[in-house]
Amino acid sequence: MNTNFFELFHLPQSYAVDLQQLDSAYRDVQSQVHPDRFAMASEAERRVAMQWATLANEAYQALKKPLARAEYLLKLGGVDPELESNTSMPVDFLMAQMEWREELAEAVSSKSVPALSGLSSRLQSEMNAMLSRLGSTIDQEQDLAAAALLVRKLKFLHKLDEEIENALDAIG
């Protein structure tokens, strides 16, 4: 099933998405295809319903979170952000990364909750700024190559954020 997720939910194909509209479109689709609608149907029909409901869940997840949505738009545009192999990054970003990581290591070794949550909130605002730049890069400037670099950067920061969360869990 090679369905365009935006078309499935009858939404315009763009980074900017009305989340309420997405939610209600998702529910509309699920209420028509969910296997619960076909519990008394034949095995073949139940299987097809399951495939559609699976697709609807996948589509919803891909469009709900901004970063996932950006990745999906890149994929539709034929741009592979090469998340696994392409690690070449601008030097200034790598330097900043190293500073973040040093700070994280210090906060972890001193088990400082305030230091960790401070780090986390600074990281969040950095990520939010990048996400809004990602929006204009995709929707207005339509520069998918630049968007791919932003996606790669965001993935780095996302990973860092997870590590901070884990460190907070370990202390708390």
Q: Which residues bind other proteins (CB under 8 A)?
A: 8, 10, 27-45, 47-50, 52-54, 57-58, 60-61
Closest listed residue to residue 77, CA positions, set 170, 172, 4, 166? 4
CB of 41 to other proteins, least distance (A): 8
CB of 142 to other proteins, least distance (A): 26
Residue whose CB is less far from other proteins, 38 or 156: 38
Cα-Cα-Cα-Cα torsion 162, 149, 91, 112, nearest 10 degrees, comes to -10
Phi, psi of 20 (to 5 degrees): -65, -40
Residue whose CB is less far from other proteins, 67 or 146: 67
Instruction: List Cα–Cα distances, 18 to 13, 57, 63, 111, 125, in angstroms.
Output: 11, 17, 10, 40, 22
Residue whose CB is less far from other proteins, 81 or 150: 81
CB of 17 to other proteins, least distance (A): 16
Closest listed residue to residue 56, CA positions, set 20, 13, 19, 22? 22
Angle at CA 72, nearest 5°, toward 1 and 135?
A: 150
Q: Are 141 and 76 in contact (CB under 8 A)?
A: no
Residue whose CB is less far from other proteins, 62 or 89: 62
Residue whose CB is less far from other proteins, 50 or 131: 50
CB of 136 to other proteins, least distance (A): 26
CB of 5 to other proteins, least distance (A): 13
